[in-house]
Chain A
Amino acid sequence: MATSETQLRIPGFTRLEALEIQEAAGEDAVEIVDKPANPGQFRELATAAILLWKFTPAILTVVAAIIARRKAAGPIKITVDKTRKGKTEHYDIEITKGGKESVVSSELVKQLAEIVEKTSSALKDA
């Protein structure tokens, strides 16, 4: 699965949104992480997180489209992880402005791309 040391983790997706991204971006680009079931509890059906392993503009556009479609577009929490020698460092980032409903915002795509770029650079420098 891993094609990059850097991953973008975005929680709070419905499984359908995550499948939609997987369909568009390719199975090796995205991993769906369902909230694990706890055998001792009966819980509300949880949302999923996606782990994004590839960051091409096309893939980020799909992710941005999903985020943009949400009415409650912001804030969206994103974690960028870098795994190195078995250790994971991560940065928590919040997108405070999502796109408008039903609009694929180029601004949002840019924001996502910048997040990956900046964080990857920061991690490289660390």
Chain B
Amino acid sequence: MTPVHGGSPGDADNWVDPVTNLAVLSVVDLKLNLGGVLHRQLPRHCFGPLVHEMTHHWCFHSAVGNALACLSLRIRRRAFLLDGTEASELALLDDIIRYDTAMEMLRPLAEGLALFAEFDMRPGQTKVRSQPMLWTWLLFTGRDSEHDEESDAPNDASFNKMDFDVFRIIYDSRLSAEFLARKENLLVQPLDVDAGGYLAGYLTLKQFWPQACDRSDLFEDADFFFAFMKSWFYDDYGLVATLLDPGTVMIDSGNAIAGYLHQRFNDFLAADLAPIAREFERGEERSTPSGNSFTEREFDRPLLTDEEIARAGRERHQALVSELTDDNPDPALQALSHMDAWTLAQRETMCLASVPARIETNSKNRVTVYLEEVPMLGGPGVDGGVPGNEDGTLQIFFSPTFGYVALVASIGDRIAFLHFLGDLDEEIQKQFLGYNVDSQAIIDIGRRSREAVANVLDDANHGHKVDNWRESLAKRVEALYAAGATLAVDAGQGDAVREAMRRTGVWKIVGRNADLVRALALVGLAGSVGALSRSEELFATHGLDHDASMQRLMELGERTGMRLVSRAGKLFVGNV
């Protein structure tokens, strides 16, 4: 048998590392799209992959995301500091269990949120706009945030110009053949979470959404629900407090974190969400861009989290940041502290695109950037530039927090040319010069760190405890999301539906009929942009019979208990 290759060179390869928050995106081709980037008008086909990764970046740049990143850096540090004692080994293994537990419990949710952004997010009637929504506006619509500030204030309750511009991108994308293929692809993914938990996480959110709508009208706004769910889990200092609780160790730590997250899901389903949703909306109105130092950033929006516990979470997080970044008399640890401090600071930025370039610096430190021997960019080099003509990289960075776009030409990790689009505080510009822009080097450091920790684990006296924990954790994650994804399935039919969906999603539920999967995807996409009244026309475009498909899906829902579509007056609505 042929060994399984990775993706072919033509396959999309877009991903985010949760520790460094490094994004690797192949979807934006700078040779073709540099002009679009400069004018903040990325092509529409980038929307799906980009909003997916932007959502990951947004989630990981949060209270929980930052705490997990710190924990991961401490794992590396503790592996480095192992001194052969049982205490140092257990401290390391304890951190590994904590990190793995939270990461694996949250992974399907993270993918579910990213897919919700692709397939369901759209501007609504509340005053809340999620970050991926705002970034879509900044990167796709050719708008300039400062220029439009007065007329297009994001909190304007009316369906303003900003909403219209974003909605147009979303509308066109969702009704494209490309998006139909993306949604079809999702619906037949395994429900089992061992393949990444895409479908389980997405369906869990889709099942939670109507539950939320039943308790507050605010959730009718898809973007409000999206932003709320992100905050419910990722801005929760209660989870941070449990994650970094010094009162637990090893399996007890894992049980506490898994138990906390399980309860958090249950709390969402049981809580009186109406007052919490109103408070969330008010909090979003008050929110302003945070400070420019990661130690000062505030992710303060406890939703149904006890104030005392949230305070403990903040303190423990701050203590961990200090442990990692404070000056240290030991030169090796000082170097590690320096590296960790920059890693944490840099998590805020997102690299949108990268392309090999030739970088020419003349004797007056003027830089010209060539793509395939065509001069594309030029200007004064950064201070201390060295005359020469070298192979390097042109990259585009985006700051979700500050809203800037930076063009960076670098040779290895040395920045030769840096240009910001938009006015920017000088201090932030200076800080950028300290960032490591060599993505490959960052990837290599991460890989080496993981390998080093894996080797330590192999040799550890208590390593088997981590292995055993991982095994039991996988079952808990599976059970949690399988239940969430089939929340609305009729009583008594849940087990059969979950079994049918384990490896091929809705495929068996719809009688292995590709046209019905396609119909289900299409009705869901049409509903996501309020185009249900166009359903028949859209179905005809794709060679599908609307009425027959909907009728069949309704019948299958009755039979299996998994109601994939439902009726709303004369229209049919997709539920997945």
Interface residues of A (CB under 8 A from B): 1-2, 7, 9, 11-12, 14-17, 19-20, 23, 33-38, 40-47, 49, 51, 71, 77, 81, 83, 88, 90, 102
Task: Give chain B interface residues in 177-203, CB to chain A under 8 Å.
Answer: 177, 181-182, 184-189, 194-196, 198
Taking CB atoms, residues of chain B closer than 8 Å to A51 are: 2
- Pick from A38, A43, A77 the residue with the most CB of B within 10 Å: A43
* Least distance between A112 CB and chain B CB atoms (Å): 17
A residues within 8 A CB of B446?
A: 40
Residue numbers in A under 8 Å from B196 (CB-CB): 37, 43, 45
**Are B185 and A47 interface neighbours, CB within 8 A?**
yes
A11 to B111, CA, bound (A): 23
Interchain CA distance A35-B218 in the complex, whole Å: 38
- Give the chain B neighbours of A33 by CB distance below 8 A: 4-5
A7, A19, A83, A90: residue with the most chain B Cβ atoms closer than 10 Å: A19
> Which chain A residues lie closer than 8 Å to B114 at the CB level?
42
A-B CB contact pairs (8 Å), 9 listed: A9-B2, A12-B10, A12-B11, A16-B185, A38-B15, A46-B11, A46-B12, A47-B7, A88-B2
Query: Considering the chains assembled together, what is the distance between the CA atoms of A112 and B65 in angstroms?
Result: 48
Identify B8's interface contact among A20, A71, A77, CB under 8 A: A77
Q: Does B16 contact A (CB under 8 A)?
A: yes
| Number of residue pairs spanning A and B whose beta carbons lie under 8 angstroms apart | 109
Whether A102 contacts B543 by the Cβ 8 Å rule is yes
A7–B14 alpha-carbon span in the complex (Å): 28
The residue in chain B whose Cβ has the minimal distance to the Cβ of A15 is B188
In the assembled complex, B1 has its CB within 8 A of some CB on chain A:
yes
Residues of chain B at the chain A interface (Cβ within 8 Å): 1-8, 10-18, 48-49, 52-53, 56, 107, 110-111, 114-115, 177, 181-182, 184-189, 194-196, 198, 446-447, 450, 504, 507, 512, 514, 517-518, 543
Majority DSSP secondary structure for residues of B touching A? helix
- Residue in contact with A35 in the complex, picked from B11, B177, B194, CB distance below 8 Å: B11
Distance, CA A2 to CA B514, complexed state (A): 26
Given contacts A16-B518, A34-B195, A51-B2, A44 and B184 within 8 Å (CB-CB): no
> Cα distance A20–B111 when bound, in Å?
25
- Beta-carbon nearest neighbor of A2 in chain B: B1
Q: What is the minimal beta-carbon distance from A104 to any residue of chain B, in angstroms?
A: 12
Q: Does B189 lie within 8 Å of A41, measured CB to CB?
A: no
What B residues does A71 contact at CB under 8 A?
A: 177
In the assembly, what is the distance between CA of A36 and CA of B215, in Å? 39
With contacts A71-B177, A77-B8, A102-B543 known, is A15 near B185, CB below 8 A? yes
